[in-house]
Amino acid sequence: MVIVMKAGATQAQIDAVVARIRELNYDPHLIKGEERTVIGAVGDDRGKGVLQTLETFEGVENVMPILKPFKLASREVRKERSVIRIGGGVEIGGNKLCVMAGPCSVESEEQMLEVAMSVKASGAHMLRGGAFKPRTSPYTFQGHAEKGLKILAKAREATGLPFITEVMDTADVELVADYADIVQIGTRNTQNFSLLKKVGKCHKPVFLKRGLATTISEWLMSAEYILSEGNPNVILCERGIRTFETATRNTMDLSAVPVLNELTHLPVILDPSHGTGYRRFVAPMAMASIAAGADGLMIEVHNDPDRAWSDGPQSLDLPMFAELMQNMKRFADAAGRSL
């Protein structure tokens, strides 16, 4: 259920409603807008009739059911788009597009510093890099773990770019959250519900990639796991899904962007690097993502892609990324966004 407070409702009135929701064994989730506060009451649907009595409380304007299975992620709870604020003045979900760039894997301090300096000069807003790497083969490079996190932290210190990196295990959530500005959940863990609950309790924004064969509804239910644990800062990332097509690594679902913008208030980022698997397709799909209404892009960039330890074929080199950033400005302007 959603409890809509009147414009100008006092804090005491809001607190009274929250207290009653808890008495009824529901979890209250406050969403404060510019004009009014909305309170989501999440729990067993069988008791929603009792929640309807909250209409008699002072300061309450309306009580209504949430029809979507994903409650807190739904536009029924929050009409306006969520804007996620990151350290360093970066915002995701506002009018300005956010570009995250960097290599698939953290290989060395020298590599990360070179890439970080270059992507910042080209206009990137955040740095990406993998310290823990989920790989298809157990014999390929799995990441430098905490050493990689320390290298990313040095790159942040040198450039001022906040960074995003993936967590794969519940045991590592606190470690990764201590270093990273955004914690990423990769495609293979989209429905790892224990991990989703754990990051839902952490203090950092969560970047949730779509699963290889996950429907939009299933993906939003994964976001709901994070939101229901008290973390409101969730960012969705479309990174391509697995279909029968073999011309590209994955099939990048551009139609997911307008669908998500209709269903949810959460920001949507697109990853054309994983979405296509080939660097020559990254630029056109990046442009198309902006036109579709994405809030930003995640792009793999390497100082020497042909010698990259992972995902070299889909990584742009430094000059290619600089050129892409210049070209994307025109598309951002046409879409009424800024870069």
Cα distance between residue 178 and residue 174, in whole Å: 6
Cα distance between residue 168 and residue 338, in whole Å: 33
Strands 296-300 and 98-102: parallel
Radius of gyration of the chain (CA): 21
Closest CA to 186 of 131, 126, 260, 106: 131
- What is the average pLDDT across 23-28? 89
Q: Which helix (H) or strand (E) holds 262?
A: helix 256-263
pLDDT tens for each residue of 95-146:
999 999 999 999 999 999 999 999 999 999 999 999 987 666 775 666 788 9
Report the largest interatomic distance among the alpha carbons of the chain, rounded to a whole angstrom.
Answer: 67
Q: Look at residue 88 and tell me whether its pLDDT is greater than 90.
A: no
**Residue 335 has what pLDDT?**
94
Closest CA to 332 of 299, 300, 288, 298: 288
Give the dihedral sign, CA 309/313/315/320: positive
Could you tell me which residues come within 8 angstroms of residue 132 by beta carbon, excluding any fewer than 6 positions away? 142, 143, 145, 148, 165, 166, 167, 168, 169, 172, 176
Give the dihedral sign, CA 26/32/33/34: positive
Helices (H), 88-215: 109-122, 146-159, 173-179, 193-200
Put simply, whether the predicted model's pTM sits higher than 0.75 gets the answer yes
pLDDT tens for each residue of 49-79:
788 889 999 999 989 887 788 888 999 888 8
Bridge partners, residue 270, by sequence: 238, 297
Quote the percentage of the chain above a pLDDT of 70. Answer: 96
Are 86 and 56 within 8 A, CB to CB?
Answer: no
**Residue 32 has what pLDDT?**
78
Query: For all residues of the chain together, what is the average pLDDT?
Result: 93
Could you tell me which residues come within 8 angstroms of residue 178 by beta carbon, excluding any fewer than 6 positions away? none
Closest CA to 290 of 274, 277, 272, 278: 272
Q: In what order do the strands lie in the sheet with 2-5?
A: 27-32, 37-42, 2-5, 60-64
**80 CB neighbour count, 10 Å cutoff:** 11
Could you tell me which residues come within 8 angstroms of residue 168 by beta carbon, excluding any fewer than 6 positions away? 132, 134, 186, 189, 195
Give the dihedral sign, CA 247/271/291/77: positive
Cα distance between residue 308 and residue 314, in whole Å: 10
**Residue 71 has what pLDDT?**
85
**Residue 196 has what pLDDT?**
97
Going from the N-terminus, what domains does the chain have, and what CATH number goes with each?
A: 2-64 (3.30.70.1140), 84-334 (3.20.20.70)
H/E/C letters for each residue in 216-238? HHHHHHHHHHHHHCCCCCEEEEE
Of the pLDDT bands very low, low, confident and very high (cuts 50, 70, 90), residue 45 is: low
The C-alpha torsion from 147 through 151 and 157 to 161, rounded to 10°, is: -120
Closest CA to 124 of 157, 161, 153, 152: 161
Closest CA to 99 of 68, 72, 124: 124
- Asked which of 35-44, 126-135, 146-155, 308-317 is least confident by mean pLDDT, the reply is 35-44
pLDDT tens for each residue of 256-294:
999 999 999 999 999 999 999 999 999 999 999 999 999
**Residue 332 has what pLDDT?**
95
For 96-110, b where at least 16 C-beta lie within 10 A, e where not — what string? Answer: bbbbbbbbbbbbebe
